[in-house]
Amino acid sequence: MTELDWVPAADRLDLLADPVAKALPDLAVRVAEIDPDLSDTAAFCEKYGIAPEDSANCVIVAGKRGGETRYAAVMVLATDRADVNGVIRKWLDVRKVSFAPQHEAVALTGMEYGGITPIGLPEGWPVLVDENVTRRSSIVIGSGVRRSKLALSGADLVRATGGETLVLTL
């Protein structure tokens, strides 16, 4: 286990993707530099001693309706699975929803795959936050790049993104 050096995110904008740095909320958001090869949740949690229930994943989903592609960011704890074909599909009001292809998610968000975060997403993208995430006093999420992680409370995550709290897990 390696100790993380958490500092105010505003003090280390170099550790954030540009869209994240520009959208950084005026809240208690901290950032820590990590080994980019260990940014995937399981490897990160093991190396840095973070409990999986204190880590939240951001997945970008897409569905089509009337020729229009609708995107959303979905936040669930690393221990949970999102109900993509149930709650999320209905919320987006699409016939079928799937995870956005990697190249598409990266191009549209301006963030690195494996580091995508709901802070700094394109204008108008909804952020759907599972209620279990909002109950955490501190959660670790992506920073937009693979070389760092952000930490903030679940409630601050909702405030920072204008997210909607739902029961999103199976």
Residue 94's alpha-carbon distances to 86, 89, 90, 124, 147, in angstroms, are 11, 6, 7, 17, 35
Q: pLDDT confidence of 2, banded at 50, 70, 90?
A: confident
**pLDDT of amino acid 170:** 77
Per-residue pLDDT at 100 exceeds 70: yes
- Of 132, 154, 163, residue with least CA distance to 23: 163
Percentage of the chain lying above the pLDDT 70 cut: 99
Q: pLDDT confidence of 101, banded at 50, 70, 90?
A: very high
pLDDT digits 0-9 by tens, 54-96: 999 999 999 999 999 999 999 999 999 999 999 999 999 999 9
Edge-first strand listing for the sheet containing 68-77: 97-99, 56-65, 68-77, 127-130, 164-166
- The tokens for 159 are 């405030």
Could you tell me the domains of the chain? 7-166 (3.90.960.10)
**Distance (Å, whole) CA 118 – CA 3:** 25
**pLDDT of amino acid 19:** 97
Percentage of the chain lying above the pLDDT 90 cut: 95
Q: pLDDT confidence of 3, banded at 50, 70, 90?
A: confident
Per-residue pLDDT at 146 exceeds 70: yes
3-state class of 50 per DSSP? coil
Q: Where are the beta strands (DSSP E) in the chain?
A: 7-8, 30-33, 56-65, 68-77, 97-99, 127-130, 139-142, 148-152, 164-166
**pLDDT of amino acid 25:** 85
3-state class of 70 per DSSP? strand
Angle at 120 between CA 77 and CA 160, to 5 degrees: 60
Per-residue pLDDT at 26 exceeds 90: no
- Of 44, 45, 47, 9, residue with least CA distance to 28: 9
Arithmetic mean of pLDDT, 24-33: 93
Q: What is the rounded average pLDDT for all residues in the chain?
A: 95
Strands 127-130 and 68-77, bridge-based pairing: parallel
Arithmetic mean of pLDDT, 134-144: 97
Q: Which residues pair with 150 in a beta bridge?
A: 31, 141
**pLDDT of amino acid 1:** 59
**pLDDT of amino acid 32:** 98
C-alpha 29: how far from its chain's center? Answer: 14
Name the one residue in this structure whose structure tokens are 């998610």: 105
Mark residue 126 as left, alpha or beta (left: phi above 0; alpha: psi -120 to 50; beta: remaining): beta
